[in-house]
Structure 1
Amino acid sequence: MQVASLRSDGEEELQMVIFRLGDEIFGVDVHQVREIIKIKEYTRIPNAPPYIRGVINLRGQITVIIDLHKIFNLHSESVESTDSRIIIADAKDSNVGIMVDAVLGVTRIQHKNVEPPPLLSKSKSLEFIKGIAKHGEDLVIIIDLEQLLKHIKDTEVSTSEIEGGATTVKSSSS
């Protein structure tokens, strides 16, 4: 993968929403984010893949909530706290949110500070990483949200499966 694929419209930098999952720092292109909301009551879906946390009703739209801890095989458990947020993706044909431990802010990252991800394994989750950025003293793992959403859409739980057997989980931060 070429780092140049991160560039759009000749821009010299990326504007990223930076967030924390466990001890790691991740980022997504701000243009791929519709909004960021506090954790709210969600409904678990029986027999859903482990990375699907559940669904929420967001202004009349069923929105699937993804647990990135499971997708990236992070050993830290996703623990809901007052800092936890759901990043709602700006996707044309999907209503998807990703649960994160904390949103750290929006920042600009120079393209020259982004390198391709190391090819350490053939894990499916590597397909969802665009690059690794140096940002101050931190390393930011840049998620390819478009590729992630494509994968989710290919395996998404249909809204018809929501009926029957679903359990509602109240947020601990409510």
Structure 2
Amino acid sequence: MERSFLYRPIPPGWRAEWAAGLASPIETGENRQTRLFAFRLGGEWFGVDPSTVSEVARVVPVRSLPHHDPGVVGGLVSLRGRVVVLLKLAEFLQVSRREADAALQRLLIFRHDEWQFGALADEAAGFLNFPAAQLLPVPATLGRDDTALAHGLFARPGRCIIWLNTGRLFPALRARLAR
């Protein structure tokens, strides 16, 4: 039988990761878990509700839009025949960029309602579970507008992951595009 796109070897560890996730008990009450998809922009780690991430892909060439004020739009990408708008999520979140390892960079495709867009991440950590009780409040050092875009943060050894409020972030991005 000839191999096709859908019939390819599964990545190492995938089967064990899914088996562990499906075998784990449903958490309730004080031992409830929060599951996030974590990624890095510059030196900051962010997490979003996994249901908002429709795809993680290798970085593909970005096409610029001629005669267009770039603002938050980074260009267009073609992903398996679909044209996807690439947004500058790091700029929108005011994260200072630094030199990134090209081997770690990923193209994240987000979906909100019927709207889909892409964003470049310097690294994607995948799905992480956090005890919901360990959610810390957003620091007061952030501006008032920035605190509305985050639920809070989770501390892990060596990093903090800011849990983005996609219910507010994605409409804010869309409103910025409409300007």
TM-score range, shorter chain: 0.7 to 0.9
2:64 pairs with 1:44: yes
1:94 aligns with 2:124: no
Give the structure with the larger strand fraction: 1
TM-score (norm 2): 0.71
Q: 1:81 to 1:137 in 2, by over 3 A?
A: closer
Distance 1:128 1:95, change over 3 A: same
By how many angstroms is 1:39 displaced? 0.9
* Mapped partners of 1:65, 1:109: distance in 2: 29
Look up the SS of the partner of 2:87 in the other structure. Answer: strand
Residue 137 of structure 1, CA deviation? 4.2
**C-alpha displacement of 1:106:** 1.3
- Runs of 4 or more, structure 1, over 4 Å off, are none
Q: 2:43, 2:98 within 8 Å by CA — same for their partners in 1? A: no
Q: Which has the higher contact order (CA 8 A, sep 6+)?
A: 1
How far is the alpha carbon of 1:114 from its aligned partner? Answer: 0.7
* Equivalence map 1:93-172=2 (5 Å): 93-122=114-143, 124-156=145-177
Extract unaligned runs of 5+ from structure 2. 1-26
> Displacement of 1:134 after TM fit?
1.8
Report how far residue 47 of structure 1 moved. Answer: 0.7
Residue of structure 2 equivalent to 1:168: none
Structure 1 residue ranges without an equivalent (≥5): 1-8, 159-174
* C-alpha RMSD of the superposition: 2.5
Shift of 1:70: 0.8
SS of the counterpart of 2:63?
Answer: strand
After superposition, the Cα gap between the structure-2 partners of 1:80 and 1:156, relative to the gap in structure 1 and judged at 3 Å, is farther
Mapped partners of 1:44, 1:20: distance in 2: 23
Contact 1:38 1:84 in 2 (8 A): yes
Question: What is the TM-score when the length of structure 1 is the normalising length?
Answer: 0.73
Larger radius of gyration: 2
Counterparts of 1:111 and 1:95 in 2: how far apart (Å)?
A: 28
What's the CA shift for 1:126? 3.3
Tell me how many residue pairs correspond in the alignment: 149
CA distance in 1, matches of 2:122, 2:60: 14
